[in-house]
Structure 1
Amino acid sequence: MNLNAPEFSSFRHDGLQLAYFDDGDPAGQPVLLIHGFASSATVNWVHPGWLKTLGDAGYRVIAIDNRGHGASDKPRDPELYHPETMAGDAVALLDHLGLPDAHIMGYSMGARISAFLALGHPHRVRSLVLGGLGIGMCTGVGDWDPIADALLAPSLDDVTHERGRMFRAFAEQTKSDRHALAACISTSRDLLTPEQMARIDVPALVAVGTKDDIAGSPQELAALMPQARALDIPGRDHMLAVGDRVFKKAVLEFYAELA
Protein backbone atom coordinates (compact mmCIF):
# COMPACT_ATOMS: atom_id res chain seq x y z
CA MET A 1 0.00 0.00 0.00
CA ASN A 2 1.21 3.50 -0.75
CA LEU A 3 0.08 7.10 -0.59
CA ASN A 4 -1.39 7.11 -4.10
CA ALA A 5 -5.16 7.34 -4.31
CA PRO A 6 -6.92 4.01 -4.74
CA GLU A 7 -9.53 3.41 -7.41
CA PHE A 8 -12.80 5.23 -6.75
CA SER A 9 -16.30 3.92 -7.35
CA SER A 10 -19.62 5.76 -7.18
CA PHE A 11 -23.23 5.22 -6.14
CA ARG A 12 -26.43 7.26 -6.35
CA HIS A 13 -28.23 8.68 -3.35
CA ASP A 14 -30.67 11.56 -2.94
CA GLY A 15 -30.42 12.32 -6.66
CA LEU A 16 -26.64 12.72 -6.52
CA GLN A 17 -23.72 10.68 -7.81
CA LEU A 18 -21.32 10.21 -4.88
CA ALA A 19 -17.74 8.95 -5.09
CA TYR A 20 -15.97 6.69 -2.60
CA PHE A 21 -13.12 4.24 -2.24
CA ASP A 22 -13.19 0.83 -0.55
CA ASP A 23 -9.64 -0.37 0.13
CA GLY A 24 -7.48 -2.11 2.71
CA ASP A 25 -8.24 -5.65 3.90
CA PRO A 26 -11.67 -6.77 2.59
CA ALA A 27 -11.95 -9.14 5.56
CA GLY A 28 -10.97 -6.49 8.12
CA GLN A 29 -13.23 -4.46 10.36
CA PRO A 30 -14.68 -1.59 8.30
CA VAL A 31 -13.66 2.00 9.06
CA LEU A 32 -15.68 4.70 7.28
CA LEU A 33 -13.78 7.99 6.91
CA ILE A 34 -15.58 11.32 6.45
CA HIS A 35 -13.43 14.26 5.37
CA GLY A 36 -13.51 17.94 6.25
CA PHE A 37 -14.72 21.08 4.49
CA ALA A 38 -13.03 21.91 1.15
CA SER A 39 -11.12 18.64 1.33
CA SER A 40 -11.74 15.19 -0.20
CA ALA A 41 -11.22 11.53 0.61
CA THR A 42 -7.83 11.66 -1.11
CA VAL A 43 -6.63 14.94 0.41
CA ASN A 44 -7.87 14.14 3.93
CA TRP A 45 -7.16 10.41 4.21
CA VAL A 46 -4.77 9.18 1.51
CA HIS A 47 -2.07 11.85 1.34
CA PRO A 48 -1.73 12.21 5.16
CA GLY A 49 -1.23 8.43 5.40
CA TRP A 50 -4.46 7.27 7.04
CA LEU A 51 -5.30 4.76 4.31
CA LYS A 52 -1.85 3.20 4.67
CA THR A 53 -1.93 3.30 8.49
CA LEU A 54 -5.34 1.66 8.80
CA GLY A 55 -4.82 -0.70 5.85
CA ASP A 56 -1.48 -1.92 7.20
CA ALA A 57 -3.20 -2.56 10.55
CA GLY A 58 -5.68 -4.89 8.84
CA TYR A 59 -8.74 -2.67 8.54
CA ARG A 60 -11.09 -2.32 5.59
CA VAL A 61 -10.79 1.38 4.75
CA ILE A 62 -13.76 3.15 3.17
CA ALA A 63 -13.94 6.88 2.47
CA ILE A 64 -16.60 9.04 0.85
CA ASP A 65 -16.21 12.25 -1.11
CA ASN A 66 -18.89 14.35 0.57
CA ARG A 67 -21.43 16.02 -1.71
CA GLY A 68 -19.93 19.24 -3.06
CA HIS A 69 -16.41 17.81 -2.80
CA GLY A 70 -13.91 15.64 -4.65
CA ALA A 71 -15.40 13.56 -7.46
CA SER A 72 -18.96 13.69 -6.08
CA ASP A 73 -21.73 15.85 -7.53
CA LYS A 74 -21.59 19.49 -6.47
CA PRO A 75 -25.04 21.05 -6.05
CA ARG A 76 -25.13 24.78 -5.28
CA ASP A 77 -28.26 24.81 -3.09
CA PRO A 78 -27.31 25.52 0.55
CA GLU A 79 -30.29 23.46 1.78
CA LEU A 80 -28.58 20.31 0.52
CA TYR A 81 -25.62 20.62 2.89
CA HIS A 82 -26.99 20.25 6.39
CA PRO A 83 -24.81 17.74 8.32
CA GLU A 84 -27.81 15.49 8.95
CA THR A 85 -28.26 15.23 5.17
CA MET A 86 -24.59 14.48 4.56
CA ALA A 87 -24.70 11.87 7.34
CA GLY A 88 -27.48 10.27 5.28
CA ASP A 89 -25.04 9.97 2.36
CA ALA A 90 -22.58 8.09 4.58
CA VAL A 91 -25.30 5.73 5.83
CA ALA A 92 -26.40 5.17 2.22
CA LEU A 93 -22.81 4.18 1.40
CA LEU A 94 -22.87 1.57 4.18
CA ASP A 95 -26.17 0.31 2.72
CA HIS A 96 -24.65 0.26 -0.77
CA LEU A 97 -21.74 -1.86 0.51
CA GLY A 98 -24.03 -4.15 2.51
CA LEU A 99 -22.43 -3.18 5.83
CA PRO A 100 -24.64 -3.17 8.95
CA ASP A 101 -22.16 -0.96 10.85
CA ALA A 102 -18.62 0.41 10.87
CA HIS A 103 -16.15 2.40 12.90
CA ILE A 104 -16.88 6.01 11.93
CA MET A 105 -14.09 8.59 11.82
CA GLY A 106 -14.47 12.21 10.73
CA TYR A 107 -12.27 15.28 10.67
CA SER A 108 -13.54 18.85 11.20
CA MET A 109 -16.80 19.12 9.20
CA GLY A 110 -16.51 15.35 8.85
CA ALA A 111 -16.50 15.04 12.64
CA ARG A 112 -19.73 17.04 12.79
CA ILE A 113 -21.28 14.80 10.10
CA SER A 114 -20.08 11.75 12.07
CA ALA A 115 -21.73 13.01 15.26
CA PHE A 116 -25.03 13.57 13.42
CA LEU A 117 -24.68 10.05 11.99
CA ALA A 118 -24.14 8.57 15.45
CA LEU A 119 -27.11 10.51 16.82
CA GLY A 120 -29.49 9.60 14.00
CA HIS A 121 -28.29 6.05 13.26
CA PRO A 122 -26.69 4.74 16.47
CA HIS A 123 -26.94 1.06 15.45
CA ARG A 124 -24.67 1.74 12.43
CA VAL A 125 -21.77 3.00 14.57
CA ARG A 126 -19.26 0.66 16.24
CA SER A 127 -17.17 3.56 17.49
CA LEU A 128 -16.57 7.22 16.79
CA VAL A 129 -13.39 9.22 16.20
CA LEU A 130 -14.00 12.97 16.10
CA GLY A 131 -10.88 14.78 14.87
CA GLY A 132 -10.38 18.53 14.58
CA LEU A 133 -13.60 19.43 16.41
CA GLY A 134 -14.10 19.74 20.15
CA ILE A 135 -16.71 21.71 22.09
CA GLY A 136 -17.15 23.84 18.96
CA MET A 137 -19.52 21.02 17.98
CA CYS A 138 -21.96 22.59 20.47
CA THR A 139 -20.83 26.21 20.83
CA GLY A 140 -19.90 26.99 17.24
CA VAL A 141 -16.54 27.62 15.62
CA GLY A 142 -16.62 31.37 15.08
CA ASP A 143 -17.84 33.54 12.25
CA TRP A 144 -17.53 31.67 8.96
CA ASP A 145 -19.38 34.16 6.75
CA PRO A 146 -16.01 35.64 5.69
CA ILE A 147 -15.07 32.15 4.44
CA ALA A 148 -18.03 32.14 2.05
CA ASP A 149 -17.13 35.67 0.95
CA ALA A 150 -13.53 34.58 0.39
CA LEU A 151 -14.63 31.60 -1.70
CA LEU A 152 -16.76 33.81 -3.93
CA ALA A 153 -14.26 36.69 -4.28
CA PRO A 154 -12.92 37.33 -7.81
CA SER A 155 -9.43 36.20 -6.76
CA LEU A 156 -7.30 35.35 -3.74
CA ASP A 157 -5.72 38.81 -4.03
CA ASP A 158 -9.11 40.31 -3.08
CA VAL A 159 -9.29 38.40 0.21
CA THR A 160 -7.92 40.09 3.34
CA HIS A 161 -9.58 37.93 6.04
CA GLU A 162 -6.86 35.59 7.34
CA ARG A 163 -8.94 32.42 7.75
CA GLY A 164 -10.76 33.28 4.54
CA ARG A 165 -7.45 33.42 2.70
CA MET A 166 -6.44 30.06 4.17
CA PHE A 167 -9.59 28.30 2.96
CA ARG A 168 -9.65 30.10 -0.40
CA ALA A 169 -6.06 29.01 -1.03
CA PHE A 170 -6.91 25.45 0.09
CA ALA A 171 -9.95 25.39 -2.23
CA GLU A 172 -7.81 26.53 -5.16
CA GLN A 173 -5.11 24.00 -4.32
CA THR A 174 -7.70 21.18 -4.30
CA LYS A 175 -9.36 22.56 -7.49
CA SER A 176 -12.70 22.69 -5.70
CA ASP A 177 -16.01 24.13 -6.92
CA ARG A 178 -15.97 27.34 -4.90
CA HIS A 179 -19.69 28.03 -5.40
CA ALA A 180 -20.62 24.59 -4.07
CA LEU A 181 -18.31 25.14 -1.10
CA ALA A 182 -19.86 28.54 -0.38
CA ALA A 183 -23.28 26.84 -0.34
CA CYS A 184 -21.93 24.11 1.92
CA ILE A 185 -20.31 26.44 4.45
CA SER A 186 -23.56 28.35 4.96
CA THR A 187 -25.56 25.35 6.24
CA SER A 188 -23.09 22.62 7.27
CA ARG A 189 -22.38 24.19 10.66
CA ASP A 190 -25.58 23.13 12.44
CA LEU A 191 -24.82 22.66 16.14
CA LEU A 192 -25.58 19.76 18.43
CA THR A 193 -26.78 20.51 21.96
CA PRO A 194 -24.97 19.09 25.00
CA GLU A 195 -28.07 16.93 25.57
CA GLN A 196 -27.77 15.48 22.07
CA MET A 197 -24.06 14.77 22.55
CA ALA A 198 -24.92 12.96 25.81
CA ARG A 199 -27.13 10.57 23.81
CA ILE A 200 -24.17 9.42 21.66
CA ASP A 201 -23.36 6.36 23.74
CA VAL A 202 -20.63 4.59 21.76
CA PRO A 203 -16.89 4.38 22.43
CA ALA A 204 -15.48 7.69 21.20
CA LEU A 205 -12.17 9.48 20.84
CA VAL A 206 -12.10 13.29 20.46
CA ALA A 207 -8.76 14.51 19.08
CA VAL A 208 -7.73 18.15 18.58
CA GLY A 209 -4.39 19.84 17.96
CA THR A 210 -3.12 21.98 20.82
CA LYS A 211 -2.62 24.89 18.39
CA ASP A 212 -6.05 24.48 16.74
CA ASP A 213 -7.87 27.82 16.99
CA ILE A 214 -11.06 26.51 15.35
CA ALA A 215 -12.13 23.32 17.14
CA GLY A 216 -12.60 24.19 20.81
CA SER A 217 -11.69 21.95 23.75
CA PRO A 218 -11.73 18.19 23.12
CA GLN A 219 -11.96 17.59 26.88
CA GLU A 220 -15.19 19.61 27.17
CA LEU A 221 -16.82 17.71 24.31
CA ALA A 222 -15.66 14.29 25.54
CA ALA A 223 -17.03 15.08 29.01
CA LEU A 224 -20.54 15.31 27.55
CA MET A 225 -20.43 11.80 26.11
CA PRO A 226 -20.83 8.62 28.20
CA GLN A 227 -17.96 6.66 26.58
CA ALA A 228 -15.62 9.35 25.22
CA ARG A 229 -12.05 10.32 25.93
CA ALA A 230 -10.04 13.31 24.72
CA LEU A 231 -6.67 13.45 22.97
CA ASP A 232 -4.44 16.52 22.67
CA ILE A 233 -2.40 16.37 19.45
CA PRO A 234 0.72 18.26 20.57
CA GLY A 235 1.90 21.34 18.69
CA ARG A 236 -0.48 20.93 15.74
CA ASP A 237 -2.95 23.42 14.26
CA HIS A 238 -6.22 22.59 12.49
CA MET A 239 -4.59 21.85 9.13
CA LEU A 240 -1.59 19.86 10.39
CA ALA A 241 -3.20 17.74 13.11
CA VAL A 242 -4.97 15.46 10.63
CA GLY A 243 -1.91 13.42 9.64
CA ASP A 244 -0.08 13.56 12.96
CA ARG A 245 1.58 10.33 14.17
CA VAL A 246 0.32 10.87 17.76
CA PHE A 247 -3.23 10.97 16.38
CA LYS A 248 -2.70 7.83 14.28
CA LYS A 249 -1.13 5.89 17.15
CA ALA A 250 -3.99 6.85 19.49
CA VAL A 251 -6.61 5.74 16.95
CA LEU A 252 -4.93 2.36 16.41
CA GLU A 253 -4.73 1.84 20.21
CA PHE A 254 -8.38 2.91 20.57
CA TYR A 255 -9.48 0.39 17.93
CA ALA A 256 -7.28 -2.36 19.43
CA GLU A 257 -9.02 -1.92 22.79
CA LEU A 258 -12.39 -2.45 21.11
CA ALA A 259 -11.38 -5.64 19.32
Structure 2
Amino acid sequence: MAQFTSDGLALAYDEFGPADARKAMVLVHGFSSNRYENWKRMGWYDAIAGKGLRGFALDCRGHGESAKPHDPALYDRAAMARDVFNLLDHAGVERAHLLGFSMGAHIALVAALADGRRIDHLVVAGVGGRIFDPPREPGAMARAMEVASPDEISDPMLKSFRHFADEQKEDRLALAACSRGGRTELTRDALMAIRRPTLVIAGARDQLAGPPQGLADAIAGAKAVTIPGCDHFSMISHGLFKASVFDFFDGWLD
Protein backbone atom coordinates (compact mmCIF):
# COMPACT_ATOMS: atom_id res chain seq x y z
CA MET A 1 0.00 0.00 0.00
CA ALA A 2 1.43 3.37 -1.04
CA GLN A 3 1.02 6.33 1.31
CA PHE A 4 1.67 10.06 1.43
CA THR A 5 1.34 12.54 4.27
CA SER A 6 -1.04 15.49 4.25
CA ASP A 7 -1.58 17.76 7.27
CA GLY A 8 0.23 15.12 9.31
CA LEU A 9 -2.21 12.37 8.27
CA ALA A 10 -1.07 9.22 6.45
CA LEU A 11 -3.29 8.78 3.38
CA ALA A 12 -3.38 5.70 1.17
CA TYR A 13 -3.39 5.84 -2.61
CA ASP A 14 -2.90 3.77 -5.75
CA GLU A 15 -0.96 4.69 -8.86
CA PHE A 16 -1.67 3.02 -12.19
CA GLY A 17 -1.00 3.51 -15.88
CA PRO A 18 2.29 4.49 -17.53
CA ALA A 19 4.61 6.36 -15.17
CA ASP A 20 5.99 8.42 -18.06
CA ALA A 21 2.61 9.55 -19.40
CA ARG A 22 2.32 13.20 -20.45
CA LYS A 23 -1.03 13.58 -18.67
CA ALA A 24 -2.17 12.52 -15.20
CA MET A 25 -5.59 12.03 -13.61
CA VAL A 26 -6.72 11.94 -9.98
CA LEU A 27 -9.86 10.14 -8.78
CA VAL A 28 -11.65 11.23 -5.58
CA HIS A 29 -14.32 8.87 -4.22
CA GLY A 30 -17.63 9.51 -2.49
CA PHE A 31 -18.62 9.57 1.17
CA SER A 32 -18.36 6.21 2.99
CA SER A 33 -16.64 4.64 -0.03
CA ASN A 34 -12.96 4.12 -0.83
CA ARG A 35 -10.59 3.99 -3.78
CA TYR A 36 -11.16 0.29 -4.43
CA GLU A 37 -14.95 0.26 -4.27
CA ASN A 38 -15.60 3.52 -6.10
CA TRP A 39 -12.95 3.19 -8.81
CA LYS A 40 -10.84 0.04 -9.10
CA ARG A 41 -13.68 -2.46 -8.83
CA MET A 42 -15.63 -0.48 -11.44
CA GLY A 43 -12.82 -0.74 -14.00
CA TRP A 44 -11.58 2.83 -13.87
CA TYR A 45 -7.94 1.93 -13.24
CA ASP A 46 -7.75 -0.21 -16.37
CA ALA A 47 -9.72 2.28 -18.45
CA ILE A 48 -7.49 5.21 -17.49
CA ALA A 49 -4.31 3.21 -18.03
CA GLY A 50 -5.70 2.12 -21.40
CA LYS A 51 -5.99 5.78 -22.39
CA GLY A 52 -2.30 6.25 -21.68
CA LEU A 53 -2.86 8.36 -18.59
CA ARG A 54 -0.92 8.19 -15.33
CA GLY A 55 -3.67 7.61 -12.79
CA PHE A 56 -3.96 8.20 -9.05
CA ALA A 57 -6.76 7.34 -6.63
CA LEU A 58 -6.61 8.19 -2.94
CA ASP A 59 -8.57 7.08 0.09
CA CYS A 60 -9.86 10.35 1.50
CA ARG A 61 -9.09 11.03 5.14
CA GLY A 62 -11.53 9.07 7.29
CA HIS A 63 -12.01 6.38 4.64
CA GLY A 64 -10.51 3.12 3.42
CA GLU A 65 -6.90 2.59 4.47
CA SER A 66 -6.23 6.25 5.27
CA ALA A 67 -6.01 7.86 8.71
CA LYS A 68 -9.38 8.10 10.47
CA PRO A 69 -9.38 10.91 13.04
CA HIS A 70 -12.62 11.51 14.94
CA ASP A 71 -12.24 15.30 15.08
CA PRO A 72 -14.62 17.15 12.70
CA ALA A 73 -12.13 20.04 12.52
CA LEU A 74 -9.82 17.80 10.49
CA TYR A 75 -12.42 17.27 7.76
CA ASP A 76 -12.80 20.78 6.43
CA ARG A 77 -13.38 20.41 2.67
CA ALA A 78 -10.60 22.91 1.96
CA ALA A 79 -8.21 20.61 3.84
CA MET A 80 -9.49 17.60 1.90
CA ALA A 81 -8.88 19.54 -1.33
CA ARG A 82 -5.31 20.17 -0.17
CA ASP A 83 -4.93 16.40 0.11
CA VAL A 84 -5.36 16.21 -3.68
CA PHE A 85 -2.60 18.75 -4.28
CA ASN A 86 -0.34 17.12 -1.68
CA LEU A 87 -0.75 13.82 -3.52
CA LEU A 88 0.31 15.54 -6.74
CA ASP A 89 3.31 17.05 -4.96
CA HIS A 90 4.22 13.65 -3.53
CA ALA A 91 4.08 12.11 -7.01
CA GLY A 92 5.98 14.99 -8.63
CA VAL A 93 3.02 15.94 -10.84
CA GLU A 94 2.36 19.61 -11.57
CA ARG A 95 -1.06 19.34 -13.28
CA ALA A 96 -3.73 16.67 -13.57
CA HIS A 97 -7.26 16.03 -14.71
CA LEU A 98 -9.56 15.68 -11.70
CA LEU A 99 -12.61 13.42 -11.36
CA GLY A 100 -14.67 13.42 -8.17
CA PHE A 101 -17.85 11.57 -7.28
CA SER A 102 -20.42 12.93 -4.78
CA MET A 103 -18.35 14.06 -1.77
CA GLY A 104 -15.35 13.76 -4.07
CA ALA A 105 -17.06 16.13 -6.49
CA HIS A 106 -17.45 18.72 -3.72
CA ILE A 107 -13.75 18.30 -2.93
CA ALA A 108 -12.87 18.64 -6.63
CA LEU A 109 -14.87 21.87 -6.94
CA VAL A 110 -13.17 23.31 -3.86
CA ALA A 111 -9.80 22.30 -5.33
CA ALA A 112 -10.64 24.02 -8.62
CA LEU A 113 -11.54 27.20 -6.75
CA ALA A 114 -8.40 27.03 -4.60
CA ASP A 115 -5.83 26.41 -7.35
CA GLY A 116 -7.33 25.92 -10.79
CA ARG A 117 -3.96 26.28 -12.52
CA ARG A 118 -3.06 22.74 -11.40
CA ILE A 119 -6.23 21.20 -12.86
CA ASP A 120 -6.39 20.49 -16.59
CA HIS A 121 -9.99 19.28 -16.92
CA LEU A 122 -12.59 18.86 -14.19
CA VAL A 123 -15.30 16.18 -14.01
CA VAL A 124 -17.78 16.24 -11.12
CA ALA A 125 -20.25 13.36 -10.88
CA GLY A 126 -23.09 12.49 -8.54
CA VAL A 127 -23.81 16.21 -8.08
CA GLY A 128 -26.23 18.63 -9.71
CA GLY A 129 -28.45 21.61 -9.05
CA ARG A 130 -29.26 20.56 -5.49
CA ILE A 131 -25.72 21.41 -4.48
CA PHE A 132 -27.10 24.91 -3.91
CA ASP A 133 -29.93 23.78 -1.62
CA PRO A 134 -29.51 24.13 2.15
CA PRO A 135 -29.21 20.83 4.04
CA ARG A 136 -32.62 19.31 4.70
CA GLU A 137 -31.62 18.33 8.22
CA PRO A 138 -28.16 19.45 9.40
CA GLY A 139 -26.27 16.66 11.15
CA ALA A 140 -28.59 13.90 9.94
CA MET A 141 -25.84 12.00 8.07
CA ALA A 142 -23.55 12.09 11.09
CA ARG A 143 -26.31 10.79 13.35
CA ALA A 144 -27.06 8.01 10.86
CA MET A 145 -23.43 6.90 11.22
CA GLU A 146 -23.57 7.05 15.01
CA VAL A 147 -26.76 5.14 15.83
CA ALA A 148 -26.34 1.56 16.97
CA SER A 149 -28.40 0.01 14.16
CA PRO A 150 -29.53 1.04 10.66
CA ASP A 151 -33.01 0.04 11.76
CA GLU A 152 -33.13 3.27 13.75
CA ILE A 153 -32.82 5.35 10.54
CA SER A 154 -36.09 6.30 8.85
CA ASP A 155 -34.75 8.22 5.84
CA PRO A 156 -34.11 5.74 2.97
CA MET A 157 -31.15 7.70 1.57
CA LEU A 158 -29.42 7.93 4.94
CA LYS A 159 -30.11 4.26 5.58
CA SER A 160 -28.50 3.41 2.22
CA PHE A 161 -25.34 5.30 3.16
CA ARG A 162 -25.26 3.58 6.57
CA HIS A 163 -25.69 0.12 5.03
CA PHE A 164 -22.91 0.88 2.56
CA ALA A 165 -20.58 2.06 5.33
CA ASP A 166 -21.28 -1.11 7.28
CA GLU A 167 -20.67 -3.27 4.20
CA GLN A 168 -17.32 -1.56 3.66
CA LYS A 169 -16.47 -1.95 7.37
CA GLU A 170 -15.68 1.74 7.56
CA ASP A 171 -15.04 3.58 10.83
CA ARG A 172 -18.48 5.11 11.41
CA LEU A 173 -17.28 7.63 13.99
CA ALA A 174 -14.70 8.90 11.50
CA LEU A 175 -17.45 9.16 8.88
CA ALA A 176 -19.64 11.08 11.33
CA ALA A 177 -16.77 13.49 11.95
CA CYS A 178 -16.23 13.82 8.20
CA SER A 179 -19.91 14.61 7.71
CA ARG A 180 -19.64 17.39 10.32
CA GLY A 181 -16.51 18.86 8.71
CA GLY A 182 -16.49 22.46 7.57
CA ARG A 183 -17.82 23.31 4.12
CA THR A 184 -16.66 25.81 1.54
CA GLU A 185 -19.77 27.64 0.37
CA LEU A 186 -20.34 26.69 -3.26
CA THR A 187 -22.59 29.47 -4.50
CA ARG A 188 -23.37 30.15 -8.14
CA ASP A 189 -21.35 33.36 -7.95
CA ALA A 190 -18.37 31.55 -6.43
CA LEU A 191 -18.39 28.77 -9.03
CA MET A 192 -18.25 31.28 -11.88
CA ALA A 193 -14.58 31.71 -10.89
CA ILE A 194 -13.80 28.20 -12.22
CA ARG A 195 -12.11 28.54 -15.60
CA ARG A 196 -11.38 24.91 -16.40
CA PRO A 197 -13.20 22.73 -18.96
CA THR A 198 -15.83 21.09 -16.76
CA LEU A 199 -18.28 18.20 -17.09
CA VAL A 200 -21.13 17.58 -14.63
CA ILE A 201 -22.71 14.09 -14.58
CA ALA A 202 -25.66 12.77 -12.56
CA GLY A 203 -28.23 10.02 -12.81
CA ALA A 204 -31.73 10.89 -13.99
CA ARG A 205 -33.17 9.49 -10.74
CA ASP A 206 -30.52 10.94 -8.43
CA GLN A 207 -32.63 12.77 -5.86
CA LEU A 208 -29.54 13.69 -3.88
CA ALA A 209 -27.83 15.45 -6.78
CA GLY A 210 -30.67 16.90 -8.80
CA PRO A 211 -30.33 17.70 -12.53
CA PRO A 212 -26.69 18.16 -13.59
CA GLN A 213 -27.57 21.11 -15.82
CA GLY A 214 -28.47 23.11 -12.72
CA LEU A 215 -24.83 22.95 -11.61
CA ALA A 216 -23.31 23.17 -15.09
CA ASP A 217 -25.13 26.47 -15.66
CA ALA A 218 -23.15 28.00 -12.79
CA ILE A 219 -19.73 27.12 -14.30
CA ALA A 220 -18.61 28.97 -17.40
CA GLY A 221 -18.71 26.68 -20.45
CA ALA A 222 -19.52 23.55 -18.43
CA LYS A 223 -21.30 20.63 -20.05
CA ALA A 224 -23.92 18.40 -18.40
CA VAL A 225 -24.74 14.73 -18.94
CA THR A 226 -27.70 12.85 -17.45
CA ILE A 227 -27.33 9.08 -17.14
CA PRO A 228 -30.80 7.58 -17.79
CA GLY A 229 -32.46 5.26 -15.29
CA CYS A 230 -29.83 5.74 -12.57
CA ASP A 231 -30.03 6.88 -8.99
CA HIS A 232 -27.11 8.15 -6.91
CA PHE A 233 -25.67 4.70 -6.29
CA SER A 234 -26.40 2.79 -9.48
CA MET A 235 -24.75 5.43 -11.67
CA ILE A 236 -21.31 4.45 -10.40
CA SER A 237 -21.41 1.10 -12.20
CA HIS A 238 -23.25 2.26 -15.33
CA GLY A 239 -21.24 2.01 -18.52
CA LEU A 240 -22.43 5.42 -19.68
CA PHE A 241 -20.69 7.07 -16.74
CA LYS A 242 -17.29 6.00 -17.97
CA ALA A 243 -18.25 6.57 -21.62
CA SER A 244 -19.41 10.13 -20.86
CA VAL A 245 -16.12 10.97 -19.15
CA PHE A 246 -14.01 9.68 -22.00
CA ASP A 247 -16.26 11.28 -24.61
CA PHE A 248 -15.59 14.56 -22.82
CA PHE A 249 -11.88 13.84 -22.85
CA ASP A 250 -11.88 12.93 -26.54
CA GLY A 251 -9.69 15.26 -28.55
CA TRP A 252 -7.31 16.37 -25.82
CA LEU A 253 -5.77 13.09 -24.66
CA ASP A 254 -3.53 12.89 -27.75
What secondary structure does 2:194 align onto? coil
* Structural mapping, 1:56-71, within 5 Å: 56-71=50-65
| C-alpha separation in 1, matches of 2:181 and 2:133 | 15
Q: Percent identity?
A: 38
Give the match for residue 49 of structure 1: 43
The answer to whether the aligner puts 1:89 opposite 2:83 as a matched pair is yes
Residue 79 of structure 1: how far off its partner (Å): 1.2
1:141–1:255 CA distance, 2 compared to 1 (3 A): farther
What secondary structure does 2:82 align onto? helix
Is the Cα–Cα contact under 8 Å of residues 137 and 191 in structure 1 kept in the other structure? Answer: no
Out of 4, 7, 27, the position equivalent to 1:14 is 7
Runs of 4+ more than 4 Å apart: none
Give the match for residue 245 of structure 2: 251
| C-alpha separation in 2, matches of 1:140 and 1:37 | 18
Greater Cα offset, 174-183 or 243-252: 243-252
Greater Cα offset, 59-68 or 106-115: 59-68
Gaps spanning 5+ residues in structure 1: where? 1-7
| C-alpha separation in 2, matches of 1:243 and 1:157 | 27
Greater Cα offset, 95-104 or 163-172: 163-172
Greater Cα offset, 21-30 or 114-123: 21-30
Out of 4, 7, 19, the position equivalent to 1:26 is 19
Is the Cα–Cα contact under 8 Å of residues 205 and 228 in structure 1 kept in the other structure? Answer: yes
Greater Cα offset, 101-110 or 74-83: 74-83
Is the Cα–Cα contact under 8 Å of residues 191 and 218 in structure 2 kept in the other structure? Answer: yes
Gaps spanning 5+ residues in structure 2: where? none
What secondary structure does 1:104 align onto? strand
What secondary structure does 1:43 align onto? helix
Give the match for residue 147 of structure 1: 141
| C-alpha separation in 1, matches of 2:182 and 2:205 | 23
Give the match for residue 5 of structure 1: none
| C-alpha separation in 1, matches of 2:44 and 2:137 | 30
1:158–1:220 CA distance, 2 compared to 1 (3 A): closer
Out of 150, 153, 162, the position equivalent to 2:156 is 162
Residue 161 of structure 1: how far off its partner (Å): 2.6
> Alignment length, in residue pairs?
252
The answer to whether the aligner puts 1:227 opposite 2:221 as a matched pair is yes
Out of 212, 225, 235, the position equivalent to 1:218 is 212
Is the Cα–Cα contact under 8 Å of residues 110 and 184 in structure 2 kept in the other structure? Answer: no
Out of 181, 197, 201, the position equivalent to 1:203 is 197
Is the Cα–Cα contact under 8 Å of residues 12 and 59 in structure 2 kept in the other structure? Answer: yes
Is the Cα–Cα contact under 8 Å of residues 139 and 191 in structure 1 kept in the other structure? Answer: no
TM-score, length-scaled by structure 2: 0.95
| C-alpha separation in 2, matches of 1:94 and 1:250 | 25
